[in-house]
Amino acid sequence: MSRPTKQIHLAAHFPGVNNTTVWSDPAAGSQIEFSSFVHLARAAERAKFDFFFLAEGLRLREQNGRIHDLDVVGRPDTFTVLAAIAAVTDRLGLAGTINSTFNEPYEVARQFASLDHLSAGRAAWNVVTSWDAFTGENFRRGGYLAEQDRYERARRFLHTAWELFDSWHGDEIIADKDTGQFLREPGPGAFAHHDDFFDISGQFNVPRSPQGRPVIFQAGDSDAGREFAASSADAIFSRHSTFEEGQAFYADIKGRLAKFGRRPDQLVVLPAATFVLGDTDAEARERAEVIRHQQVSGATAILFAEQLWNRDLSSYDPDGPVPEVDPLPGENTISKGRASVRMFDDRLATVRQWRELSEAKKLSLREVVIEVTGRQSFIGSAATVAETINRFVQQDASDGFILVPHIVPGGLDDFADQVVPLLQERGVFRAEYTGTTLREHLGLELPG
């Protein structure tokens, strides 16, 4: 017997501070002017996407002790842009990454509750952690947190924020002009929270927002991160965008829910995904190759290699062979402020793989980097991409995707205009919004 057809969830990620965002193309627009954000958000809303997603930066990335200048540098403040986008959209969810390490629960809770009010119930919070002293140099606390404590702090932070959101129930304000009674009772929003990380008390000053709590996203992939997501998140922003990895991750994360007393449909799995469209599959493949070369310049290839080798490789030719020197052991000191540093668990083994790939396919260093770093997730005609995305969702490799265009601001336009109508024709993606809040778009219940 066949099970019911799943509805796909789609989101638009504003292309950010990494080499996959192509700034050198003549069509590439501003990464900071508000008009770019409006363009992408309106394209997403025109296509009835679930939400718009904005990442966060708290320190400019550095390589070899200098600010990394090859990728996009600079971006706006998450909350401020999301609040402004609320003014130019009507239904689109507004999701933002906010760090739990260099913030305090009271302030973040009032910002998200405010955003939820100002967007009439469209706010979502991607809770991330960091621990590095490098980022801490911009904040009051400095580099105070041990790496192994970051998820515990994040979990406590989130649960503290929930106490604040829940400190107002929604029936406190009666505002009777005749009798002059504004509050039903004195002392609304009272809270007192004490644990190893937070010792706070008082009255929260934002009354309950339309969604009660913003939708919670989690993005970490470690075991601790997955447990955190399974226990506490409404959605997980994963990086497993291939079919097999996606299915494995999906089964793993959904399987963790029961022990927290949660059902599988209470956590939406949304991998990040990239795409390249063409009139034909062959044309899309050609375009994908051009884009990959834009994304990985010779200088960028050297920087990637330096992250892996953990040493200065600036004297090497990116169009020459893979460097013959061995990587340096120990803590990565060459690259700071980027998540990918931690990807290379076993440097020697990875370098060996790169060399083997280079010899087998006769590839230069740059071509190896193009090969091993993030080929686009979906490449093909609109029909091919629509069919592939639907297969992934129906076969539980995901519940949908957070799409990351490679270019600002028009990178989503073709997807919105060509792929989405095909998904709508298949009846697997909404033709119109049926709800007003992000929780309704994602099929999530209001918190009690």
Partner 1 sequence: MTPRPPLHLALALDGAGWHPAAWREPRARTAELLDARYWTDLVQEAERGLLDFVTIEDSLGLQSDRFDGPDDRTDRVRGRLDAVLIAARVAPLTTRIGLVPSVIAGHTEPFHISKAIATLDYVSAGRGGLRVRAGSGGAEAALFGRRQIPGITVADLDRPEVVALITELFDEAADYVEVVRRLWDSWEDDAEIRDVATGRFVDRDKLHYIDFEGRWFSVRGPSIVPRPPQGQPLVTVLGHNTVPYRLGARQADVVYVTPRDADDARRIVGEIRTEQDAAGRGDETVHVFADLVVHLADSAAQAADNRARLDERAGAPQGSDAHIVAGTPGELADLLLDWQSAGLAGFRLRPATIPHDLEGITRGLVGELQSRGAFRTAYEAATLRGLLGLARPANRYAAAAAATNSTAAV
- Within 99-128, the residues that bind partner 1 by CB under 8 A are 102-104, 106-107, 110-111, 113-115, 117-120
Choosing from 15, 121, 188, 327, the residue that interacts with partner 1 (CB under 8 A) is 188
Measured from the CB atom, is 139 or 433 closer to partner 1? Answer: 139
Minimal distance in Å, beta carbon 65 to partner 1? 11
The site for partner 1, by CB under 8 A, has a size of: 77
- The DSSP bridge pattern shows strands 123-128 and 93-99 to be parallel
Minimal distance in Å, beta carbon 24 to partner 1? 5
The span of 64-72, 124-132, 323-331, 409-417 binding partner 1 (CB under 8 A) equals: 64-72
Choosing from 1, 148, 199, 432, the residue that interacts with partner 1 (CB under 8 A) is 199
Minimal distance in Å, beta carbon 32 to partner 1? 5
Which amino acid makes up residue 397? A
- Using alpha carbons, list the distances in angstroms from residue 23 to 35, 54, 56: 16, 18, 19
204 is a contact residue toward partner 1 (CB under 8 A)? yes
Q: Rounded to whole angstroms, how far apart are CA atoms 370 and 294?
A: 10
Q: Which of 241, 239, 217, 246 is nearest to 229 (CA)?
A: 217
The span of 76-84, 219-227, 306-314, 319-327 binding partner 1 (CB under 8 A) equals: 76-84
Q: Rounded to whole angstroms, how far apart are CA atoms 189 and 281?
A: 57
Task: Say which residues have a Cβ less than 8 Å from residue 387's Cβ, sequence separation at least 6.
Answer: none
139 is a contact residue toward partner 1 (CB under 8 A)? yes
Look at the alpha carbons of 214, 215, 218, 223 in this order and tell me if their dihedral is positive or negative. positive
Choosing from 5, 147, 184, 279, the residue that interacts with partner 1 (CB under 8 A) is 184
Judged by DSSP in three states, 406 sits in: coil
Minimal distance in Å, beta carbon 224 to partner 1? 25
Residues 369, 301 contacting (CB under 8 angstroms): yes
Which amino acid makes up residue 101? T
Minimal distance in Å, beta carbon 26 to partner 1? 10
| 16-35 positions binding partner 1, by CB under 8 A | 23-24, 32-34
Choosing from 201, 263, 331, 448, the residue that interacts with partner 1 (CB under 8 A) is 201
185 is a contact residue toward partner 1 (CB under 8 A)? yes
Minimal distance in Å, beta carbon 177 to partner 1? 5
180 is a contact residue toward partner 1 (CB under 8 A)? yes
Choosing from 203, 314, 395, 434, the residue that interacts with partner 1 (CB under 8 A) is 203
- What's the residue count for the chain? 448
87 is a contact residue toward partner 1 (CB under 8 A)? yes
Q: Which of 155, 44, 168 is nearest to 114 (CA)?
A: 168
Q: Rounded to whole angstroms, how far apart are CA atoms 303 and 231?
A: 37
137 is a contact residue toward partner 1 (CB under 8 A)? yes
Choosing from 202, 255, 320, 427, the residue that interacts with partner 1 (CB under 8 A) is 202
Minimal distance in Å, beta carbon 82 to partner 1? 8
Minimal distance in Å, beta carbon 324 to partner 1? 25
Rounded-to-5 percentages of helix, strand, coil across the chain? 40, 15, 45
Q: Considering just the CA atoms, what is the radius of gyration of the chain in Å?
A: 23
Whether residue 409 has a cis bond before it, omega within 30° of 0: yes
Question: For residues 148, 154, 159 and 164, what is the CA-based torsion angle, rounded to 10 degrees?
Answer: 140
73 is a contact residue toward partner 1 (CB under 8 A)? yes
Task: Say which residues have a Cβ less than 8 Å from residue 363's Cβ, sequence separation at least 6.
Answer: 357, 371
182 is a contact residue toward partner 1 (CB under 8 A)? yes
Q: Rounded to whole angstroms, how far apart are CA atoms 148 and 136?
A: 16
74 is a contact residue toward partner 1 (CB under 8 A)? yes
The span of 144-152, 183-191, 248-256, 402-410 binding partner 1 (CB under 8 A) equals: 183-191
